[in-house]
Amino acid sequence: MFDVQKVRADFPILSRKVNGKPLVYLDNGASAQKPQVVIDAINTAYAEEYANVHRGLHTLSTIATEKYESVRGKIARFINAGSEDNIILNSGTTEGINMVSYAWAAPRMQAGDEIVLSIMEHHANIVPWHFLRERLGVVIKWVDVDANGDLDPDAVIAAIGPKTKLVAVTQMSNVLGTVIDVKTICAGAHEKGVPVLVDGSQSAVHMPIDVCDIGADFFAITGHKLYGPSGSGAIYVSPDRMAEMRPFMGGGDMIREVSRDSVIYNDAPMKFEAGTPGIVQTIGLGVALDYMMNIGMDAIAEHEKALCSYARGKLDGLNWLNVQGQSATKGAIFSLTIDGAAHAHDISTVLDKKGVAVRAGTHCAMPLMDHMGVGATCRASFGMYNTVEEVDVLVDALELCHELFG
């Protein structure tokens, strides 16, 4: 049975005050807070068990290596990746998608080849493809969302032509909260022989993920949104795509032998992990995933569903407030604007005075904001520790904004 108060007690920061008010943390879409078990694990790793991994034979290096390497299996279980050999550890989604761009896409693409993207991608799933556009003459094909913020999977599949080499889509919009039917997209793309990269940065924290069932070729996650440390993350790569990738970062750990005029690479996945990794961050991520799996992703999803439906009812009831994106699949992300002159930054400042932390701006999704014709929004994004009472605090603070600026 999910007990939100018990969960809250695990997150020390949630008991602090901001500007004299109890903190209402609604910036989870940017980064989530950390439970005490993760903070303790980081502390233990540095205070008692720190050494570099993979290289030493001494006790501390062995402990650090075992703890670090055990996270690969935890991630594989968390997203049902089949085998831990399909998991490349990294610093987060940005690194993961850039790796796919350099290690898989660049060597197999040429001028005129296409990549299909949705208009609601985060810049992390846009800019690496712009690099290929600039350097190789690759063409980016955009698929728009409708007025509700829905992305029609059939429109994505229809955009795939004979020159398309990759489809890259998010599973959940970081602005609109729309959850995309990536399984249908993967099935349709595969029928046309085209691999799919799924950006799971926002989705993986809110719902159970099964990359095998989705059928993704690449699935990126980022640790700091999963209640883990920043600088941790991973990307799932299917065995077929893994075999096609060329290492793009060279250095220690990714090699087996180096001589004056030759190099023999390590086996995958380590072949794609050059240099000293984020050892402690990754260990912390493993503890965060254990924490979530112990609670249960179904239980977390159920709690958040009830919370979001309450929030949606309340926010939709404010006729001077615009909630961007009204998809039936909308999850725990609400991008808001107020009729009249109030800028998102002003709203966010007033909310902060009430202890409510939200994000204001264009959320690293400028093509989407442009498509929606919105300059900036205030984004309230929920996590497993948020409560209906906090939704009420948000609504009261928004009403104050309306009085001040509306």
The answer to whether 221 contacts ligand PLP (rule: CB under 6 A) is no
199 touches ligand PLP by CB under 6 A: yes
Scanning 197-205, 262-270, 299-307, 387-395 for contacts with ligand PLP by CB under 6 A, the matching segment is: 197-205
The smaller minimum CB distance to ligand PLP, of residues 283 and 401, is found at 283
Q: Which range of residues in 195-203, 295-303, 304-312, 348-356 is near ligand PLP by CB under 6 A?
A: 195-203
Q: Annotated catalytic residue: which of 186, 308, 364, 401?
A: 364
Query: Min. distance of Cβ 214 from ligand PLP in angstroms?
Result: 16
* Contact partners, residue 29, CB within 8 Å, separation at least 6: 174, 202, 225, 332, 333, 359, 363, 379, 381
Q: String of b and e for 298-310 (b: at least 16 CB within 10 Å)?
A: ebbbebbeebbee
Please give the residues from 362 up to 391 whose contact with ligand PLP meets the rule CB under 6 A. Answer: 364
For residue 348, the minimal CB distance to ligand PLP (Å) is 17
Smallest distance, ligand PLP to C-beta of residue 141, A? 19
364 is catalytic: yes
Quick one: 93 or 164, whose CB is closer to ligand PLP?
93
- Going by their DSSP bridges, the two strands 114-118 and 164-170 should be labelled as parallel
Q: Which is nearer to ligand PLP, 209 or 338 (CB)?
A: 209
43/59 Cα distance (integer angstroms): 18
With CB under 6 A as the contact rule, the residue among 178, 202, 324, 362 that binds ligand PLP is 202
Which listed residue (174, 281, 335, 377) binds ligand PLP by CB under 6 A?
A: 174
Stretch of residues binding ligand PLP (CB under 6 A), selected from 1-9, 45-53, 196-204, 269-277:
196-204
Part in contact with ligand PLP (CB under 6 A); list of ranges 53-61, 91-99, 156-164, 327-335: 91-99
Q: Which of residues 116-155 bind ligand PLP (CB under 6 A)?
A: 122, 124-125
- Does 94 participate in binding ligand PLP (rule CB under 6 A)? yes
State the minimum distance, in angstroms, from the CB of residue 262 to ligand PLP: 34
**Residue number with CB closer to ligand PLP (129 or 393):** 129
Per CB under 6 A, does 33 bind ligand PLP? no
Of positions 33, 86, 118, 222, contacts ligand PLP by CB under 6 A: 222
Is residue 28 close enough to count as binding ligand PLP by CB under 6 A?
no
Residues marked active site are found at 364
Contact residues for ligand PLP (CB under 6 A)? 92-94, 122, 124-125, 170, 174, 199, 201-202, 222, 224, 364
